[in-house]
Structure formats: C-alpha cells, structure tokens
Amino acid sequence: MATIPRGIQEVEWTRKDGTKGVRYRLRINRQGLKYDALFDELETAIEALNNSKTELGRTALKDFLHAEMRKTNAFYQDSATDLGNCLALFYKEHFEKPETNPMDKKANTIYQSLAKTISTTLIQDNASFENVPPLIRAKMNYPDTIPLGNMDPFKIEARDINSYIKARLATKRFTNPKKGEPRELGYISKATVTKELSFLSSFFSNFHSYGGKAYESLKENNPVKKANKRALAGANKKRERRLSEAEEQELFKALQRCRNKDMVTIFQLAISSGMRRSEILFLEWKQINFQRRYIELYRTKNGEPIKIQLLPSAWEELKKLKHKPNTDRLFKYTQDGFKSNFQRVLGWAKIEGYRFHDLRSEFITRV
C-alpha cells in the first residue's frame, strides 16, 4: 500500500447499511487556490496533490473542483444518516486542527471527546410513547433508552435535549481507572453539560455549511435553543476561591517535596504571570527573553500574541532551569501528568476545592 503523504488524510465513514468505507481527503489552502476534495483512490489524491504544485495543474484542479464538490455532497448525504456520524464529520470540518503542537493536539482530543460523549449518552426513547398524552407521559418512567447519537438529527426535539441534560447531570465522575482503583468524584457539573450543549448547538447551527442545503432546516429548528435549561442555572457562576496565607505556605512546602523541582517553577510562573496551565507547560526557550525579562506567548486563548513581564521571584526560578535533552521545551510534563501531580500536591497540603486555574485569579488580585 502506498504511503499517505503530508496533505492527504484518510477518512473512514459509515454507509447506510452499517458497513465501513475509506476515502482520501486532500485540502489545499494557497493563494489563488482553495481546494477540498474526497477521492476513492489514494493514487488519485496523490496525483491531485502533485498537480497543485504547477500552474497548469492548478488550473485543471479548479475545473475539477466543481465535479468533486458534487461527489462530496453525495458523500455527506450517504454517510451522515444519524447524529453520531454527523457530529464526527462536523468535528473534522469545523474544529479539527493540524497537530503541529501539543495545544492543538489537546484541543482535538477535547472536541473528539465532546462528540463521543454526546453520541453515547442514553436518553429516554420518546418515540416509544408518541401517542401517550403529554400529562400522562410526564408522570411515566421511561423503560426504553436510546443513544442520542443513534437518532436522526432531523427528528431530535427539545424534549430529547431535556432528557440529555437530565441524564448527564445524573452521571457520576470517577478518577482514571488506568491510575489505580477508580475513585468517585461526584456528579458531572453543570458547566460541563453546558459546554457539551454549546458544541451540539454549534452543530445544528453550522452543519449545513458542510452537509449542503439538505441540512439548512437544522439551523432553523435548533432543538438546543428550544430546550428547557433551568436545571443548568448558575453553570457559569464565577469561582471566588482564593488561597489563604497559611494555605499558600503549605502549598509551597508540598511543592518542594516533589522529586521534579519543575513543579515549584511552574507554580511561581503561574502566580506571578497569570498564564494558563497549557501556556506554561508548553513554553519553549525561544519564548524567553532574559535580557528584557519577558516571556512571549505567540498564541493565547483569544488568538493574540502577548509579552508577559514576570516578578523577580519567577525570574530567579527560571534561571535555575537547565535545558532538557531532545526538546526545546522548558518542561516535559503533559497536561494530564501535571494535573495528577498537582492534585497529589494539594492532598499533601490538605487544600480542598482548589484548581490550578485559580492561580490566575490570585495573580489578578495581587497586581
């Protein structure tokens, strides 16, 4: 089998009969040529990629684009028959980023997880009781459930979203089973469910841009916007968790117990700069200007680059850091690995109800 070159992506899809198929996606975004097409054969996709590198080939591709777009629309109509398939396609079109850095890779993982959670959550099978009067139906226990992802997106109603909200808020959270015996952490938060609904609402509002005119009615009849969200009231309430002076001292002592002394440096950077966890963990040496004493973030959450001045204590910690082999990064932690370590440190310090993100508030109140 030929090797898939850079610029071509293998796409797996599900036909109406449940069987799997594979096509090859070529995306080109250059000045004078925007091209996005699916090919049945890898060799054809490679030929199109090679053609895009010459003037004559680019002209031919532009002519070919219209025919391929018709095939693409047919592909959507053939494969995206239920919500689960539609969400998978929507993620690839609307959210997926080239994984050129850890932050984009993490973002892809988050959106994939959202699509999977929504698709696999069991909700009441309202269709089984379609002919039961509403007042009686409201008092009934629904014995039948169905994964939301198995439903036809055109048939999803506000009551199905209400059922989803109820099911998610009744779902318990557990620690990662790969890291020992799972430990219960309480129920899924309102904020988490709100994020899931935001993703789902975005699908209903925007999928017609990728699936074609046949999906335009989804935007007009967005069931997420019509659902009753009173159960999620207060989901976005701001946290006001601050460290007391005693807690800060205990936390610093606990950090010094860590075998990896980078934990202390990361803490100092967070509390003296307000940087986010991902911005700190993925810092590279080229972003540090020791002469002018600032850190340059090339891309923040809002997409803008900024320069951050640090307090003297943070600079002293940075000076202690040594270059690590085989990496340009200051720290080798993954986000999940650091999160586990920080939770352990909070346990040592006997601090409850605190998150690393709360250090941003500490910085803001001290400036």
Closest-CA residue to 116 (of 77, 79, 90, 152)? 90
Q: What is the pLDDT of residues 74-112, one digit of tens each?
A: 555 555 578 998 899 889 888 888 776 777 788 888 999
How far does CA 156 lie from the centroid of its chain? Answer: 24
Q: What is the pLDDT of residues 171-229, one digit of tens each?
A: 988 766 555 666 677 888 999 999 999 999 999 999 888 777 778 889 899 999 999 99
More reliable by pLDDT, 171 or 8:
171
| C-alpha radius of gyration, the chain, whole number | 25
CATH architecture of 245-366: Orthogonal Bundle (1.10)
The tokens for 242 are: 């601050």
DSSP output for 189-216: PHHHHHHHHHHHHHHHHHTHHHH-GGGH
DSSP output for 6-33: TTEEEEEEE-TTS-EEEEEEEEEEETTE
Q: What is the pLDDT of residues 308-345, one digit of tens each?
A: 888 787 788 888 888 888 888 889 888 888 888 999 99
Q: Domain-by-domain residue ranges, the chain?
A: 8-73, 83-232, 245-366
- Distances in Å between the alpha carbon of 85 and those of 37, 95, 98, 108, 165? 19, 15, 21, 17, 21
What pTM was computed for the model?
0.64
Q: Residues, the chain, total?
A: 367
